[in-house]
Structure 1
Amino acid sequence: MEKLLSTKRELKFVPECYKLPPDCRPGNTIVPICEFIPVIDFKEEQPKLIHQIIHASKQYGFFQLINHGVEEKLLKDVLDVAKEFFELPGDEEKERLCCDMNHVKLNNRKLLTSIDYMNESLHYWRDALRLPCLPLQNNIQFWPQKPPIFREVIGSYSVEVRKLSMRILDLISKGLGLENGYFYNKSELCNVHIITLNHYPPCPDPSLTLGLPKHSDPNLITLLLQQMDGLQILKDQQWFALKPFPNAFVVNVGHILEVIINT
């Protein structure tokens, strides 16, 4: 049975099941900071804003968004409550949804370590809590009750992020010359909204493991609230670390949206 990394206090070494094969390890390689991903101001005039978003989506599949309308205090509260959640003491495992640690879906919420712990031979150095958000009133009752403000903060955040995501998609649809409300009218594209809280505990030897493997997102769009430059982007066969802009969202174009944009 899997056990959260965040409950393994003061690990002095990387367990064997987390050590990647030598040719897959990051080692001590210094990854250059990415300087080319655009930082887009959401307060720009709409024609310019649409052009910037479409260009960044086609050229890079990523951009950072500032002045997006989600309050700075809420962003801070989200980061704080997520940190507090993963730091709850081990004797509160049930409060942390560890009843779901065998990847049995309970109302589609899932607390896990790595990616698919029970079916993996090697694991990745992260804990995560996945929370379905639509409809919010049906799902929030199954979210953690500790910390006490968890549901209030993450619930408010889910509403704001959902609104922002739909505004971005609306601008993209206009830039592509699609019908008004294209994404609103395609309920099969927008009826899934999941918040994932990722936690990467201190690692005694980061040269041996990774938080996540290289991957791309299969969805429409991902908004990432990033605290440090752990996200890496592949461009022209080279990896770059994306340094977070203060209070910005990293916007990642998923597979489905990529197909729509490039059709």
Structure 2
Amino acid sequence: MPMEKLPSIDPAGSRVSDMELLSNALAYAAVPDKYVFPPEKRPYAFLDDASSDVALPVIDLHRAALSDHRHQVAAEIIRAGKEFGFFQVVNHGVEEGVVRGFREAAAELFALPAEEKLPYCSDDQSRPFRLASSTSYDRSQTRYWRDYLKLSCHPVSDELVRHWPAKPATFRSSLAEYAAAVHDLAQTLLSLIAEGLGLPDGFFAGDLSGGDTQMNVNYYPPCPDPSVTLGLLPHCDRHLLTVLSQGDVAGLQAKHGGRWLLVRPVPGAFVINFGHQMEIVTNGVLASVEHRAVTNSAAARMSVATLVMPTMDCRIGPAPEMVSEASPTRFRSFVFSEFMEAYSATAASREDVLESFRLDRSPAATA
């Protein structure tokens, strides 16, 4: 079934683009040409790109509430971060009903008739809520097999909620509840990370995590041929910390040891990964790891990524505690808004964006 082409409307009512939404079609008999990648960029192009079955660490956060186990949990997080850059958390305090409530509301929004989604469609990245397709970072003409909601979700205010859709009826209330709960979880994780690294209590509080929290709700419909397309390009997150609700359908892959590791869903878990800002403030101890999304032919997949970010005027650089004679300063300091501009200019390329902020630019480091 062909996709319906929608004219995207900006807040002033003018046309900004012609947008095709994958979620407007019931099914696909074949992958349209614009979603077919050249052979060398396909998800299983090379043997060393094949998906690995190494399992991510799963950390029980309930133990962190017990004083005699808290330091042990913090150490587990740092160990997982150093080895993988990713881990999963269970018994995290976010109620199952809160997660399910928002995921169901978001799924209903993607399922709305095309004309009801039209007012939310936009390529304008300044909007606090918008619906779009593919990605705005990749410069190629090939499109990614993905629709997404991109929105500001915390701190919640009447003005912010006004920008959220009124349909489905449960969307606004379930989003507000979910965003608050995940914000609390993120602050717990940041406190444990600081403890595990020997940083001062509250190190990540304030401007480092005080920016407007962003959310990407990603929808990947069943794909007729997952071998020729991708759901999302390989990238690292530009923020500080990502808290991901993956649901029960696999599709997230993280780079590990030169291979792509499939992050298998764990019931009730959140997937946690570090963004570029975490790598920089820890002077490279906790690296931001490349990840991507692959598609499947059997079931739709939806993920909800909550992105904790600094304020735009936050000055960022390696923490003094993370610098020593054995580990000299690896990155220059900068204002976060500068990093955001560099990230967009380099199309989310991990090495290209970090090169703009590295201090060690010897031939060995840049080869």
TM above 0.5, yes or no, is yes
Q: Does 1:72 align with 2:96?
A: yes
Q: CA deviation at 1:53?
A: 0.9
**Number of the residue aligned with 2:211:** 191
**Number of the residue aligned with 1:86:** 110
Answer 1 or 2: which has greater helix percent: 1
Judged with a 3 Å threshold, the aligned counterparts in structure 2 of structure 1 residues 21 and 118 are, in CA distance, closer, same or farther, namely closer
Q: CA deviation at 1:192?
A: 2.9
Q: Which has the higher contact order (CA 8 A, sep 6+)?
A: 1
Separation in structure 2 between the aligned mates of residue 172 and residue 188 of structure 1, nearest angstrom: 13
**Which is greater in Rg?**
2
Which of residues 132, 150, 153 is equivalent to 2:171? 150
**Number of the residue aligned with 1:22:** 39
2:19 aligns to what SS in structure 1?
coil
Matches within 5 A, 1:56-205: 56-94=80-118, 97-98=120-121, 100=122, 103-105=123-125, 107-116=127-136, 120-137=140-157, 138-185=159-206, 187-205=207-225
**Number of the residue aligned with 2:57:** 38
2:205 aligns to what SS in structure 1?
helix
Q: CA deviation at 1:141?
A: 1.3
For 1:16-45, what per-residue CA distance to the aligned partner results, in whole angstroms no more than 9, with x for missing partners? Answer: 11110012123598633332x110000112
Contact persistence 2:61–2:91 (CA under 8 A): yes
**Higher deviation after alignment, 42-51 or 20-29:** 20-29
Q: CA deviation at 1:119?
A: 6.1
Amino acid aligned to 1:93: K
Separation in structure 1 between the aligned mates of residue 198 and residue 137 of structure 2, nearest angstrom: 43
**Higher deviation after alignment, 21-30 or 204-213:** 21-30
For 1:78-119, what per-residue CA distance to the aligned partner results, in whole angstroms no more than 9, with x for missing partners? Answer: 221121110111121335x02x2xx12464322110002996
Separation in structure 2 between the aligned mates of residue 119 and residue 239 of structure 1, nearest angstrom: 23
Aligned CA RMSD, in angstroms, stands at 2.0
For 1:159-197, what per-residue CA distance to the aligned partner results, in whole angstroms no more than 9, with x for missing partners? Answer: 011111011101111222222211113x14431311111
Q: Any stretches of 5+ residues in structure 2 without a counterpart?
A: 1-17, 64-68, 286-321, 323-367
Q: Any stretches of 5+ residues in structure 1 without a counterpart?
A: none
Which of residues 228, 249, 254 is equivalent to 1:233? 254
TM-score in terms of structure 1 length: 0.91
Amino acid aligned to 1:18: Y
Q: Does 1:8 align with 2:8?
A: no
Contact persistence 1:216–1:254 (CA under 8 A): yes
